[in-house]
Amino acid sequence: MKAPNLSEKYSNWKELENLAAKWQDQTMAQAFEADNNRAARFSVSAAGLCLDYSKNLLDEESLKALLQAAEEADLKGAIKKLLRGEHVNNTEDRPALHTALRFSGAPKSAEQQAVQATLDKMSDLIARVHSGEWKGFKGEKITDVVNIGIGGSDLGPRMVTKALTPYHTGHVQVHFVANIDGAEIHDLTKVLNPATTLFLVASKSFSTLETLENSLTARRWMLDNGCSQQDLAKHFVAISSKVDKAVEFGIAADNVYPLWDWVGGRYSLWSAIGMPIAFAIGMDNFNKLRHGAAAMDEHFAEASLEKNIPALMGLLMFWYSSVLGTDTQAILPYAYHLQLLPAYLQQLEMESNGKSVTKEGAKVDYQTGSIVWGTEGTNGQHSFHQLLHQGKVLVPIDFIATLKAHHPYDHQHKFLFSNCVAQSQALMTGRDQATTESELRSQGLNEEDIAFLAPHKVHPGNRPSNTLLMEKLNPESLGALIAAYEHKVYTLGVLWNINSYDQWGVELGKLLGTHVANAIETTDVPSEWDSSTQTLIRKFTEANKNI
Ligand code: F6P
């Protein structure tokens, strides 16, 4: 079965393509010159976040055409379906109710009541650990909390814990272990004291190889270092939707915090999966993070699409990826503490929208999720920005900036912010041949050198970016930022008619991983496997035969 292509799906596809083609002959710089009000016209503020999308290859007409496409895809109706818990995850026949995790006030639905009970229990645990009432096997206070989890059970909590460093209470140090590579847990256990360490085993499915193996290693480490079997309960807590499996694994039933099928792993940091965040910043700030996200949810639900931050972010990405043919997008937070945001968004965007069939299972012939990459500014400027400025690929960019810093070095914050703004400005305006030549002339170069150097120094410009601005990186603004990206992803899923909430593409690699491990274990390598796989396995077996 083949899905309708986008020109069949959207009645104004030709118009969208024509509008996109216009940008071959016109520049954003001209658009700014022609309209003093462009920045205000293409900016929206909500939930403590301002999206300035004026430096995009966009005008009123193209925005209108994109909004028509959103209407034809019934984005408004789809938002309602998401928020009221319809089974938008149709291949797993479940809702995607991460928004139910971040309500404020008294819980209303059955889901919210379950969430509140879990948050209350989590709050109690954190208070007992922070105060020192919860003691390790030698009767000492817990000083270190280690989250063992991977993917959605790692990236979100790890990113937010780092992002909110200025809010760390200092009661405990929070660490993360994700990789099956034993090097990660080995490095960590070398510097930790087992008597004062608490492990959080975070796994929605409680069947993820990395998490189970790392947890077994952690358990062995505890037992080898004097903890009795009975005292393990003082050092292991689990978060899972498979409570039985966690108990079967050996976690005390009272130490298991539930998660629900209606929360996707990569959307779960607002649940007990966010426990490491709450251990680091305290429960009050964790709640502020949730409430910041709730404010963005409300905006997503209520605002008209032309004034709707997540919807606009999604429509812009649709414009670039589907109409202008881009393959990647760069996330460039000008905030050191947001350095893990690109990695977090890789899972959120690529695991959600990296699909090849529609919700009905028909093959699509259009580009879906794009490659997300990036790093924190200004580091990227001294690395890959060269390609952004002068390379041959078009990369839509999200710059993320804060008006105020948490540290006292105001002059450095001024330079950080200036660089962020200057990058988006330089990418947009570029520097043409004539300006480049006259600059070289004013530096005293002769005409021959000018003719040689000028082409190398020309910046084509017309390279698009959004700037997401917040007053300060705090729990509320971060919550709103993350929720904006979650809803952007859903917007794209709706426009492409794909399911953003399943991830079948990760299954085959996992399955073959266990087959290869078995082949190594038994030294029985199936002869029908390809010669590359067989040779690689034999090399490993050979290298490890005496171990
Ligand atoms: O890699 C696939 C995946 O299933 C992700 O979707 C998920 O976030 C991660 O593994 C971890 O899963 P779990 O929380 O069940 O251990």
**What number of CA atoms fall less than 13 Å from residue 498's CA on the CB side?**
26
Asked if residues 43 and 403 have their Cβ atoms less than 8 Å apart, the reply is no
Asked whether the predicted pLDDT for residue 153 surpasses 80, the reply is yes
CA–CA dist 293, 470 (Å, integer): 14
User: Residue 352: CB within 6 Å of ligand 1?
Assistant: no
Structure tokens at 195: 């008597």
In whole angstroms, how far apart are CA 361 and each of 86, 277, 493, 499? 19, 38, 14, 10
If one residue of 179, 208, 241, 256 were mutated to test the ligand 1 pocket, choosing by the most ligand atoms within 8 A of its CB, it would be 208
Q: What angle do CA 343, 115, 86 make, to 5 degrees?
A: 75
Centre of ligand 1 from the C-alpha of residue 143, in Å: 28
Asked whether the predicted pLDDT for residue 547 surpasses 80, the reply is no
Average pLDDT estimate for 331-341:
98
Place of tokens 């990227």: 380
Centre of ligand 1 from the C-alpha of residue 152, in Å: 6
Burial class (CB in 10 A: 0-12, 13-18, 19+), 81: middle
pLDDT digits (tens, 9 = 90+) for 171-211: 999 999 999 999 999 999 999 999 999 999 999 999 999 99
Average pLDDT estimate for 405-424:
98
Asked whether the predicted pLDDT for residue 1 surpasses 90, the reply is no
CA–CA dist 345, 269 (Å, integer): 13
User: Residue 241: CB within 6 Å of ligand 1?
Assistant: no
Asked whether the predicted pLDDT for residue 289 surpasses 90, the reply is yes
How many beta carbons lie within 10 A of that of residue 445, not counting itself? 16
Instruction: Please report the pLDDT score of residue 3 as a whole number.
Output: 86
What dihedral do alpha carbons 477, 481, 482, 484 form, nearest 10°?
130
Nearest alpha-carbon partner for 279 in 257, 259, 251, 298: 257
User: Residue 264: CB within 6 Å of ligand 1?
Assistant: no
Centre of ligand 1 from the C-alpha of residue 118, in Å: 21
Centre of ligand 1 from the C-alpha of residue 280, in Å: 23
User: Residue 503: CB within 6 Å of ligand 1?
Assistant: yes
Name the percent of the chain lying above pLDDT 90. Answer: 97
How many beta carbons lie within 10 A of that of residue 113, not counting itself? 12
Fill in the DSSP letter of residue 2.
Answer: B
User: Which residues lie closer than 8 Å to 215 by C-beta, 6 or more apart?
Assistant: 148, 199, 201, 236, 249
In whole angstroms, how far apart are CA 197 and each of 142, 278, 509? 6, 16, 33
- Using only C-alpha atoms, the chain has a radius of gyration, in whole angstroms, of 26
pLDDT digits (tens, 9 = 90+) for 68-91: 999 999 999 999 999 999 999 999
If one residue of 205, 344, 489 were mutated to test the ligand 1 pocket, choosing by the most ligand atoms within 8 A of its CB, it would be 205
Q: Which amino acid is at 198?
A: L
Centre of ligand 1 from the C-alpha of residue 35, in Å: 48
If one residue of 150, 206, 245 were mutated to test the ligand 1 pocket, choosing by the most ligand atoms within 8 A of its CB, it would be 150
Instruction: Please report the pLDDT score of residue 448 as a whole number.
Output: 97
